[in-house]
């Protein structure tokens, strides 16, 4: 199907850009001598993950057990469920392991560790657990020097659970925007996670895996001594937030939303599109960054960014395209430049959030032809 035949709004993946992003990240990991485990929460799409694995990824990271189930059914065996385990979810994790899935769980507290140990003991299952380490204070995890780290390790190790490794995610990298700051955080992430593994090993726990990552720190890292693998998700598509962080160019962004002009408010300089927040998502991640892209950056159908215009507002199924800055556009400009029926592509703030609004992507080949790639929703 050609672009002008696709009903709007639609989520487009530019295959050539996606493959370039995959090759860039995998190449960087190869150079650094670490394995790469992509986070598939960004796309929840088997076609994308197959491309990541074909390029050299080893295993995947998931954010939900539904992802684990869907990707295991599609043939991926090595899966890290990277959200601290809720004891009530253990039966689903157990079922996956019994089917042969090499599912690794994550904990960052003694209670969940004890619950996993007790469940494993009760059901005769040796779970593998990685301990979550907090290296930047942005969310979950145990800091490397906390005694809780060793307590959790001990609870697992002494109760028949395999401590497979430590993992951390320096998500505060999204708030940075200079190469030096990103490189410093990458080193902080590496050093903290390696230190946590070292402390566990000193108590007699093998802790083979040392897993770090976020898209910005993964791309900024220059050496990863002691690290065995890196995780990253959004790099596969990139978005305007990552552009502001400084790790991709506008023309690296592989996800866009195809939209149609359906109206104008000429006196305000507005063109109204049929892509509102239901299509773009409510993510306003660029609002606190150096360049606020509103609800997205409009581009021509061929991908050329329409600099000087932005999606300035959104209702559920209406997006407002308007000029940025002080320059007033004449009435005829907006209606003539963006006539009724014109199709545009909008680069999103956050690829993970925008993708989630759609049941499928249209994957666009360099010749302009496209195929549908399913993605899934829910938990």
- Is 337 a binding residue for a copy of itself by CB under 8 A? The answer is no
Reading phi first (left if > 0) and then psi (alpha if -120 to 50, else beta), residue 95 is in: alpha
Are 255 and 354 a contacting pair, CB within 8 Å? Answer: yes
Which residue in the set 19, 84, 188, 289 belongs to the binding site for a copy of itself (CB under 8 A)? Answer: 84
Q: Give min distance, CB of 251 to a copy of itself, in A.
A: 25
By CB under 8 A, residue 356 contacts a copy of itself: yes
CB 230 to a copy of itself: min, Å: 18
Peptide bond preceding 9 in cis form (omega within 30 of 0)? yes
> Which window, 21-29, 50-58, 301-309, 314-322, contacts a copy of itself (CB under 8 A)?
314-322
**Which member of 3, 32, 83, 301 binds a copy of itself (CB under 8 A)?**
83
Measured from the CB of residue 316, what is the shortest distance to a copy of itself in angstroms? 6
Q: Which of 21, 43, 61, 63 binds a copy of itself (CB under 8 A)?
A: 63
| Cα separation, 181 vs 301, whole angstroms | 36
Pairing of strands 162-168, 128-133: parallel
In the complex, what is the shortest distance from the CB of residue 282 to a copy of itself, in angstroms, rounded to a whole number?
4
E strand or H helix at 249? none
To the nearest whole angstrom, how small is the minimum distance from the Cβ of residue 109 to a copy of itself?
A: 6
Site for a copy of itself (CB under 8 A): which residue of 38, 59, 153, 171?
171
223 binds a copy of itself (CB under 8 A): no
Q: Which of 13, 60, 68, 85 binds a copy of itself (CB under 8 A)?
A: 85
Q: Is 345 in the site for a copy of itself (CB under 8 A)?
A: no
Size of the site for a copy of itself (CB under 8 A): 58
Maximum Cα–Cα distance across the chain: 75
Q: Does 370 bind a copy of itself (CB under 8 A)?
A: no
Residue range at the interface with a copy of itself (CB under 8 A); choices 3-11, 24-32, 195-203, 364-372: 3-11
By CB under 8 A, residue 243 contacts a copy of itself:
no
| Coil, strand or helix at 345 | strand
Per residue in 149-173, is it b (16+ CB within 10 Å) or e — as a string?
Answer: bbebbbbbbeeebbbbbbbbbbbbb
User: Can residue 153 be called a binding residue for a copy of itself (CB under 8 A)?
Assistant: no
Which candidate, 300, 274, 364, 346, places its Cα nearest to that of 1? 364
Q: Does 296 bind a copy of itself (CB under 8 A)?
A: no
Kindly calculate the radius of gyration of the chain based on its CA atoms and give it in whole angstroms: 22
Which member of 357, 363, 364, 373 binds a copy of itself (CB under 8 A)?
357
Find, among 72, 70, 38, 39, the residue nearest to 56 by Cα.
38
Distance, in Å, from the CA atom of 46 to the CA atom of 40, rounded to the nearest integer, reads: 9
115 binds a copy of itself (CB under 8 A): yes
**Token digits for 78?**
């090595």
Q: Which stretch binds a copy of itself (CB under 8 A): 88-96, 118-126, 186-194, 244-252?
A: 88-96
Contact 105, 116 (CB under 8 A): yes
∠ CA 324-326-328, rounded to 5°? 90
Residues 173-212 that bind a copy of itself (CB under 8 A): none
Does position 355 bind a copy of itself by CB under 8 A? no
Strands (DSSP E) along the chain, which ranges? Answer: 10-14, 35-36, 60-62, 78-84, 102-107, 128-133, 162-168, 209-212, 229-230, 255-265, 270-273, 297-299, 309-314, 319-323, 343-347, 360-364, 370-374
Residue 359 beta carbon to a copy of itself: minimum distance, rounded to whole angstroms: 4
One residue of 2, 77, 98, 282 binding a copy of itself per CB under 8 A: 282
Among 128, 189, 252, 274, interactor with a copy of itself by CB under 8 A: 274
Residues that bind a copy of itself (CB under 8 A): 7-10, 41, 63-64, 83-89, 92, 108-109, 111-112, 115, 134, 139-140, 171, 260, 262-265, 272, 274, 277-279, 281-284, 313, 315-318, 320, 339-341, 350, 352-353, 356-360, 377-379
């Amino acid at each position: 199907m050609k672009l002008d035949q696709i009903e709007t709004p639609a989520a487009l993946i530019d295959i050539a850009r996606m493959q370039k992003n995959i090759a860039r990240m995998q190449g960087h990991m190869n150079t650094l001598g670490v394995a790469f485990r992509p986070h598939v929460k960004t796309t929840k799409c088997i076609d994308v993950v197959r491309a990541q694995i074909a390029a050299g990824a080893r295993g995947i990271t998931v954010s939900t057990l539904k992802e684990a189930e869907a990707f295991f059914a599609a043939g991926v065996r090595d899966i890290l469920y990277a959200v601290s385990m809720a004891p009530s979810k253990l039966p689903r994790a157990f079922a996956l392991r019994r089917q042969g899935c090499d599912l690794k769980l994550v904990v960052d507290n003694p209670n969940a560790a004890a619950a996993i140990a007790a469940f494993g003991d009760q059901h005769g299952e040796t779970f593998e657990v990685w301990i979550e380490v907090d290296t930047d204070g942005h969310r979950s995890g145990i800091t490397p020097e906390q005694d809780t780290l060793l307590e959790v390790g001990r609870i697992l190790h002494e109760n028949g659970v395999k401590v497979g490794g430590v993992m951390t995610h320096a998500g505060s990298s999204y708030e940075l925007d200079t190469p030096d700051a990103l490189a410093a955080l990458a080193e902080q992430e590496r050093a903290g996670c390696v230190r946590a593994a070292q402390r566990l090993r000193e108590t007699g726990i093998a802790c083979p895996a040392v897993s770090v990552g976020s898209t910005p720190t993964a791309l900024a890292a220059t050496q990863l001594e002691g690290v065995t693998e890196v995780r990253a998700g959004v790099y596969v598509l990139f978005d305007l937030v990552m552009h502001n962080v400084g790790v991709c160019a506008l023309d690296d962004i592989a996800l866009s939303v195809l939209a149609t002009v359906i109206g104008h408010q000429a006196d305000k300089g507005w063109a109204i599109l049929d892509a509102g927040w239901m299509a773009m998502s409510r993510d306003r991640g660029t609002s606190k960054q150096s360049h606020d892209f509103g609800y997205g950056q409009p581009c021509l159908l061929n991908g050329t960014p329409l600099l000087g215009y932005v999606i300035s507002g959104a209702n559920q199924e209406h997006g407002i395209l308007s000029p940025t800055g002080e320059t007033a556009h004449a009435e005829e400009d907006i209606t003539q430049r963006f006539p009724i029926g014109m199709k545009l592509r909008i680069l999103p703030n956050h690829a993970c959030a925008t993708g989630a609004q759609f049941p499928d992507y249209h994957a666009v080949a360099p010749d302009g032809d496209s195929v549908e790639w399913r993605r899934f929703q829910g938990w």
